[in-house]
């Protein structure tokens, strides 16, 4: 049967509008949910929103560009400490400190990105991990500025606090806003020339350069954008926690969670990191509540099975299945030679 131009136009409009409608409904649902769950659960859901934002940020450099940054937590920590210092010592409002923290992290990322992004594969991954560990030591050894190992506290009340503490409901909305912002940025990147250039770099960097893509500029911009988003999330996390320590702000586990959410959901897509963050955090909270002593072990097994069965990620697996009409997990394992 021949498809008429009118039918093609209708299908294109449908594919364009459906994601937007679903996104709007999801935001409305999240706002409605806020008034129906207690404070403790509000904080748990806010954490899910936080990791949606973090996974989308990592996906720009790790998913679209294909440069696996194992030290992404450095921007989380730097954004957090920048906010803590300027709020405590210079009495900045949080609403001013948060975007400045993102810019601070972005500038740092672009400066270190110029030499680091010349490395590829595991060399780049190890180098970024080294930067994160090194920056944690810098923070520890600047006690007069950062509080060192004793930590630092953000003013949340009284005359020294330019911004009063937001409370569980306020941070729920803040992290929801960051999640929406990050998904919006990811969507824009995935649909414009910049994003197509990053995909080309991921596939074959030499070929991308040969067709006129400025690979150095594209990679540095992607790294800076990823850091900007991560830095703002780190700033928000610090304000929520009030008192922070280097070990937590620069914990490599945060980077590992970002990566696993993107890999399980589907790297290089927008919906993949979102689904990965939702699924992994939900499963983690459920296991922590019902299997107190063994939740980490069970979660690890689930992640291992997910990576073995669908190494390309859930979203990419579904897309390939729709194209090939083949959803066999055994065939999928063979296809990726695992």
Domain positions in the chain are 17-251
- Give the pairing of strands 243-244 and 152-153: antiparallel
What are residue 244's DSSP bridge partners? 152
pTM comes to: 0.91
**262 CB contacts (<8 Å, ≥6 apart)?**
55, 58, 59, 62, 63, 272, 273, 276, 313
Instruction: Return d(Cα 328, Cα 148) in angstroms, integer.
Output: 53
Q: 76: closest CA among 273, 250, 253, 329?
A: 250
pLDDT, position 320: 83
Three-state DSSP class for residue 189: helix
Task: Work out the angle at residue 36's Cα, subtended by the Cα atoms of residues 30 and 41, and round it to the nearest 5 degrees.
Answer: 80
Which residues, at least 6 apart from 258, have a Cβ–Cβ distance to it below 8 Å? 51, 54, 55, 57, 58, 72
pLDDT in tens, the chain (338 residues): 455 555 455 555 455 566 677 778 888 888 888 888 877 789 889 999 999 999 999 999 999 999 999 999 999 999 999 999 999 999 999 999 999 999 999 999 999 999 999 998 889 999 999 999 999 999 999 999 999 999 999 998 877 788 999 999 999 999 999 999 999 999 999 999 999 999 999 999 999 999 999 999 999 999 999 999 999 999 999 999 999 999 999 999 899 999 999 999 999 999 999 999 999 988 888 888 888 788 888 888 888 888 888 888 888 888 888 888 887 777 777 777 65
Please name which of 288, 258, 251 lies closest in space to residue 44, comparing C-alpha atoms. 288
Tokens of 314: 């859930």
Residue 334: the pLDDT is: 76
Q: Tell me, what's the pLDDT at 233?
A: 97
């Amino acid at each position: 049967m021949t498809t008429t131009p009118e039918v093609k136009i209708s299908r294109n409009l449908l594919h364009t509008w459906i994601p937007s409608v679903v996104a709007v409904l999801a935001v409305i649902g999240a706002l409605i949910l806020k008034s129906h769950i207690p404070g403790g659960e509000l904080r748990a859901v806010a954490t899910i929103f936080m990791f949606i934002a973090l996974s989308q940020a990592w996906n720009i450099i790790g998913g679209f560009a294909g440069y696996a940054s194992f030290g992404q937590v450095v921007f989380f920590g730097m954004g957090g400490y920048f906010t803590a210092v300027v709020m405590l010592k210079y009495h900045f409002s949080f609403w001013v400190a948060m975007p400045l923290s993102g810019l601070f992290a972005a500038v740092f990322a672009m400066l270190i990105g110029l030499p680091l992004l010349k490395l590829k594969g595991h060399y780049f991954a190890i180098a970024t991990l080294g930067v994160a560990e090194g920056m944690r030591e810098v923070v520890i050894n600047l006690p007069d500025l950062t509080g060192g190992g004793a930590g630092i506290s953000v003013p949340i009340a009284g005359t020294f606090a330019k911004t009063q503490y937001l409370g569980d409901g306020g941070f729920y909305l803040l992290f929801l806003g960051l999640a929406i912002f990050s998904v919006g940025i990811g969507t824009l990147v995935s649909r414009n020339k910049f994003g197509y250039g990053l995909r080309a770099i991921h596939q074959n960097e030499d070929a991308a350069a040969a067709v006129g893509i400025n690979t150095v500029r594209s990679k540095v911009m992607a790294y800076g954008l990823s850091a900007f988003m991560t830095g703002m999330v780190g700033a928000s996390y610090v304000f929520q926690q009030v008192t922070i320590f280097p070990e937590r702000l620069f914990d490599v586990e945060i980077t590992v969670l970002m990566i696993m959410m993107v890999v399980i959901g589907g790297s290089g897509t927008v919906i993949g990191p979102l689904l990965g963050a939702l699924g992994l955090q939900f499963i983690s909270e459920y296991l922590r509540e019902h299997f107190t002593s063994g939740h980490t072990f069970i979660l690890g097994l689930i992640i291992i099975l997910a990576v073995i069965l669908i190494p390309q990620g859930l979203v990419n697996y579904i897309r390939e299945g729709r194209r090939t009409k083949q959803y066999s997990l055994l065939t999928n394992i063979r296809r990726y030679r695992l």
